[in-house]
Amino acid sequence: METKIIKIKNIIEDRNKILEAGNLLKQGGLVAFPTETVYGLGGDALDARAADKIYEAKGRPSDNPLIVHIASKEDVKEVAREISPLGDRVMEVFWPGPLTLIFRKQERVPKSTTGGLDTVAVRMPGHLLARELIRAGGGFIAAPSANLSGRPSPTKASHVEEDLNGRVDMILDGGDCEIGLESSILDLSVSPPILLRPGGITQDMIEAVIGPIQVSSQTKETTVAKAPGMKYRHYAPKGELTIVEGEEMQVVSMIVKKVKEVQRQGKKVGILASEETKSFYPKEFVKSVGTRRKEATIANQLFDVLRQFDQEEVDYIYSESFPEGKLGFAIMNRLLKAASHRVIELEKGREGE
């Protein structure tokens, strides 16, 4: 199929283009669109066939449920039931924004959308264009990240084009995503609520509003999958990624040593570092992902940098690690997944290995 790529500069001047995209959605078509987190691949959430098409376009297993995106808070009741006072409070404070909530589902949401589950994930994005499109498309848009299954989530329209050109009806290019990591996911269908995926809205921020929640052990990593998406290999670059943890200069010398080993094998290598440390590495291999003084910059560029390594067909990537502070927890969660948990831990005061 031919994919229309449409640039949206301004939601008022480009109104007709948004309406055209909305009509495509209403007719069961697929439209990729930007949100404040990552680009989503949208289809009508209440149309089982649209959900099936999404799975097919992404090459995603159909038991991995989709998030239903809405444009106004009241609409949550149309797709979710048994919304507790806790749920009301969380929505009041964090919506619109990068937080997905899981509730028991209403009958009208097809099981294809929820991957066979009795619960539904709902999010009201903060991105204006996203909300306008959702409205134009009928109000309930299922949208996983707009990448091929197993690739890093797209944070630019060009990433979506790379993965999905020819597989979807339209890509709305609304510029780069502001956050760059997917939404936090909070399961409110259980008590106490469980944070299934860390993101821009952190555990502390949620607890300040509704009191103690649990953090899924799978975010800290076990094999049991509660958010079904967690059981698949995710965010994976083509090259083999290893994270090196430890004291700064020890990390640098370990990475430099690994780089030499890879070169000796005649393979291609990449280094993922920060503004503060990039000058310690050979220029031709290193990419800075952002500054350690502002972790939002790292979140913002992480997936893009991983994709750049893919394009350069690097065989091995060595990455510094980042402190697991606020956003840092989400950053390390994605990085560890991308690395399939390959980590070299250097002990303090020792040469390493």
Partner interacting with residue 227 (select from ligand TXA, Mg ion, none; CB below 5-8 Å by kind): ligand TXA
Cis? peptide before 96, omega within 30° of 0: yes
Q: Within 10 A of 27 (CB to CB), how many other CB atoms are there?
A: 12
Q: Closest separation between CB of residue 102 and ligand TXA, Å? A: 5
Residue 103 makes CB contacts below 8 A (sequence gap 6+) with 76, 80, 81, 82, 83, 87, 119, 120, 122, 188, 189
Instruction: Report 142-161 residues binding ligand TXA (CB under 6 A).
Output: 143-145
What is the phi-psi region of residue 59: left when phi exceeds 0, alpha when psi lies from -120 to 50, beta otherwise? left
Residue at shortest CB range from Mg ion? 145
Please pick, from the candidates 145, 155, 274, 297, the single residue that binds Mg ion as defined by CB under 5 A. 145
Q: Which stretch binds ligand TXA (CB under 6 A): 49-57, 228-236, 271-279, 297-305?
A: 228-236
DSSP state for residue 22 in the 8-state scheme:
H
Cis? peptide before 192, omega within 30° of 0: yes
Number of residues that bind Mg ion (CB under 5 A): 1
Number of residues that bind ligand TXA (CB under 6 A): 27
Residue 238 makes CB contacts below 8 A (sequence gap 6+) with 309, 310, 313, 314
Strands (E), the chain: 4-7, 31-33, 40-44, 67-69, 80-81, 99-105, 119-123, 141-142, 170-173, 184-187, 194-197, 214-215, 240-245, 269-273, 286-288, 316-320, 343-345
Using the rule CB under 5 A, is 184 a contact of Mg ion?
A: no
Instruction: Report 234-263 residues binding ligand TXA (CB under 6 A).
Output: none
201 vs 210, beta carbon nearer ligand TXA: 201
Q: Closest separation between CB of residue 145 and Mg ion, Å? A: 3
Please pick, from the candidates 51, 54, 120, 255, the single residue that binds ligand TXA as defined by CB under 6 A. 120
Using the rule CB under 6 A, is 54 a contact of ligand TXA?
A: no
Please pick, from the candidates 32, 57, 121, 141, the single residue that binds ligand TXA as defined by CB under 6 A. 121
Binding site for ligand TXA (CB under 6 A): 35, 37-38, 40, 64-67, 100, 102, 114, 117, 119-121, 123, 143-145, 182-183, 185, 196, 227-230
